[in-house]
Each structure stands twice: as structure tokens, then as C-alpha cells.
Amino acid sequence: MQNISAEIQAIKRQLGDKLCIMGHHYQNDAVVQHCDIAGDSLELARRVPQVNADYIVFCGVYFMGESAALLAKPGQAVYLPSMDADCLMSQMTPAPLARKVLEQLYERGRKVIPLAYANTDLALKAVVGEYGGAVCTSANAGVMLQWAMKQGDGVLFLPDRHLGNNTATALGIPPQDRHVLRIGSKGLVDPETLPLDKKLLLWPGCCAIHARFDPDDVREMRAAHPGCRVIAHPECREEVISVCDGAGSTSFLIKDAARIAAEAPGTTLIVGTENHLVHRLADRFKDQCRIIPLGHAVCGNMAKVTEKKLWTILTEIVSQKAIPLAIEEELCPPARLSLTRML
Ligand code: 13P
Ligand code: SF4
């Protein structure tokens, strides 16, 4: 891999300011070392409008590249090293189904504002924009949920019910004000029994990688490492987050590890999120503290982006054979609205 790495660096020198490589924190180290900008979903979305390069190579999953293409300037092209890297959760809210559910809620007199996690596709973001809603990420879900609550008589949070629940708990929205919708292929299941007084309606989606963590994993770690600190990503189930010492976006987890390394060296820190990030943190702070994954959690789609694929897309850009990510024109205005409401 030595040669590939050197060749990527050579292409970066050749293209200079025309190229910007962006990457999510879950990418593997071999990819992250080449990124000009690394961040969590919110940071990456915020940085795109400031990038002036002609070619943006986005190392992450499909919805992230799609959002980058939506926020890019005219004439800029966005490339994904692995077009088949698709966040599984982003497929849990097909846009026509979300529209059907919103229609059913409106028919029943509910002016519900949709609040979509960034982990959704362009068509869903367009529906959200049309219905006066916005996008959020795990870094700003609290602020965005408070905003959405003021826009209508309730909020439909989608697709991650765990992020929705964890955010509601942090804001003090009681469990009796929340309801996880039951959704079939034609829309709401049994709409007659839908409680109409609930303020927060949750789409029944989740990230399978984070949802597999269990409160017992936390208890076992505490027993094995007395005095340890446990932090996790809010895509984990509420029962898990409630027994952790802290929770937040991937950038929060990195900042927390850096703080503990500086302020409390010797601490054992248990981190509940995708393991590529946890291993990077363990290595970075190995002289100050011990960092251990809460359990096995690898996002197979994030891992589809490899250094070799990054090299391939860069060589294709140089030879003008690379195909940029195409987004549907007519979906752009409402989808952009839902994103810019957040930004
Ligand atoms: P962040 O927004 O925290 O970067 O997380 C994105 C994600 O996909 C987590 O699984
Ligand atoms: Fe999607 Fe989960 Fe992978 Fe994040 S970790 S990209 S939410 S499947």
C-alpha cells in the first residue's frame, strides 16, 4: 500500500487547489490520512459551501456525498470513491412512504413538522422541505427538535427512533409525550388507534450497528474496569445511553477523549460507536489513557471506501473518466431548503 499512498499524495500535489478530499470520522486510517477535511456529518455539511475546489472527493456513505452535491457550488463536481457505500438507516424512510404518513397525519388534523436525520436520501429531504421541516444531525438534534416543536403542533422525527428518544430525554420531553409509529408498506398501521395528543412521533428506524449495544455491555465494562468512563453515540438505544456518562456525535466523542487524556490521564475510557473511530482514538491517546470499544461495531458500508478506491477515483479524475455523483434537479430546491434550515 506504500505505493498507492505515495501516488495519492502525488495526485494531490498535481491537482493542488482544484481538489478537496473530505472524509467522515468512521473512515479507516489509510483513507483519513489523505483527507483535507475530516469531520462529523454536521461539520462536513457546513464546510462544503466554503470549499472552492473543482473536485470534491467525499469519503463516506452515499447520503453524505448527496448532501455535499446539494450544497456544492455550480460547476463543482462531487465524487464518491465507493458508490455502493450506502448507510442502511438512510434506506429506512422511502420518500413516498414518508409522504403518505405525513398526509395521513394531516388528514387527521395534525400539523406535524418532519425533522429528518441527515442519514436520509435526497427524495426524503425534499419531502421534509415541502412540509416545512428541516434536517438535523446527532450534533444539533436538540436545538433542531426545539425549533421544530415551535413550528407546528408536533414533530415527526425520522428515521432513527433512538436518536429521537435520546434527544427528547435530554430536552425533558416525557416518555408519555412520545409515540413510535407503526408503519406498513401502505402507510400508518391502524391509524384509528394513533394517539393524537403525542408531541413527538418517531419513525421506527434505527442504525443496526449502534442498536446492538446493550445496557449489560456497559455494566460488564464497568465491572471489568472499575472507575472507567463510558461514552456512546446517541444512535444507541435509550437504555444504553441512560447508563453512560456522556453521549454525542462522533466529534463529541473525539473531544471527550482528548479532554479526558489531558485532564485525567490514566483513565480507562469505553467508547460505544463504530470501531474504526475507537481504534484511532485508542492509538492517538495511548500514552495518556486506555480507550476500549464498548463492543464490536463495524459499519460495513463506511468500510467499503478503501485507500485503493480513493486512488482509483483520483486517477479517473486526472484522466477525466470519473463520473460525478448526479442528483435529481427537481428534488434540489425543497431538499436544499431542509438542509439550509439546519445550516
Ligand atoms: P455523526 O453525525 O455523529 O458524524 O454520525 C453519523 C453516523 O452515521 C453515525 O452512525
Ligand atoms: Fe449508517 Fe449506522 Fe453506518 Fe452510521 S454507522 S453510516 S448510521 S449504518
Residues 331-340 pLDDT 10s: 999 999 999 9
The angle, 0 to 180 degrees and rounded to 10, between the axes of the packed helices 141-151 and 161-171 is 80
The pLDDT-based confidence of 343 (bands split at 50, 70, 90) is: confident
For the chain, give the percent of residues with pLDDT over 70.
99
* pLDDT of the residue at 333: 95
Residues 182-223 pLDDT 10s: 999 989 998 888 888 899 999 999 999 999 999 999 999 999
Alpha carbon of 300 to those of 14, 203, 256, 276: distances in Å? 32, 23, 25, 11
Q: Is the sign of the CA dihedral 237, 238, 239, 240 positive or negative?
A: positive
* pLDDT of the residue at 2: 62
Question: What does pLDDT average to over the chain?
Answer: 96
Residues 211, 283, 38, 158, Cα dihedral to 10°: 10
Alpha carbon of 332 to those of 88, 114, 175, 246, 329: distances in Å? 22, 17, 36, 36, 5
Instruction: Read off φ and ψ for residue 78, nearest 5 degrees.
Output: -110, 135
Distance 11 CA to ligand 2 centre (A): 30
Mutate to test the pocket of ligand 2, among 40, 61, 161 (most ligand atoms within 8 A of CB): 61
What domains are defined for the chain? 2-85+302-329 (3.40.50.10800), 90-207 (3.40.50.10800), 213-293 (3.40.50.10800)
* pLDDT of the residue at 241: 98
* pLDDT of the residue at 197: 86
Distance 321 CA to ligand 1 centre (A): 31
Closest residue by Cα to residue 142 from 172, 98, 112: 172
The pLDDT-based confidence of 61 (bands split at 50, 70, 90) is: very high
Reply yes or no on whether the pLDDT at 263 is more than 60: yes
Residues 276-306 pLDDT 10s: 999 999 999 999 999 999 999 999 999 999 9
25 CA: nearest ligand 1 atom: 4
Q: CB under 8 Å to 223, separation ≥6 — which residues?
A: none
Distance 190 CA to ligand 1 centre (A): 33
Mutate to test the pocket of ligand 1, among 43, 138, 237 (most ligand atoms within 8 A of CB): 138
The pLDDT-based confidence of 256 (bands split at 50, 70, 90) is: very high
Residues 93-124 pLDDT 10s: 999 999 999 999 999 999 999 999 999 999 99
Closest residue by Cα to residue 151 from 111, 179, 190: 111
Provide, for the chain, the percentages of residues in helix, strand and coil under a 3-state DSSP scheme, each rounded to the nearest 5.
50, 15, 35
DSSP 8-state symbol, 320: T
Cell numbers given for 206 = 434505527
Residues 157-191 pLDDT 10s: 999 999 999 999 999 999 999 999 999 998 999 88
d(CA 306, CA 255) in angstroms, rounded, equals 26
Residues forming a β-bridge with 20: 56
Closest residue by Cα to residue 165 from 221, 236, 222: 236
Q: Are 82 and 325 in contact (CB under 8 A)?
A: no
Q: Whose CA is nearest to atom 1 of ligand 2?
A: 87
Which ligand is closest in space to the CA of residue 87? 2
* pLDDT of the residue at 195: 85
Which ligand is closest in space to the CA of residue 275? 2
Residues 118-136 pLDDT 10s: 999 999 999 999 999 999 9
Distance 209 CA to ligand 2 centre (A): 7
Reply yes or no on whether the pLDDT at 139 is more than 60: yes
Distance 211 CA to ligand 1 centre (A): 13
* pLDDT of the residue at 294: 98
Mutate to test the pocket of ligand 1, among 46, 135, 235 (most ligand atoms within 8 A of CB): 235
Q: Are 207 and 184 in contact (CB under 8 A)?
A: no
**Lining residues, ligand 1, CB within 6 Å:** 25, 40-41, 119, 137-139, 207, 233, 235, 249-250
Q: CB under 8 Å to 50, separation ≥6 — which residues?
A: none
Reduce the secondary structure of 20-33 to three states and give it as a string.
EEEEECCCCHHHHC
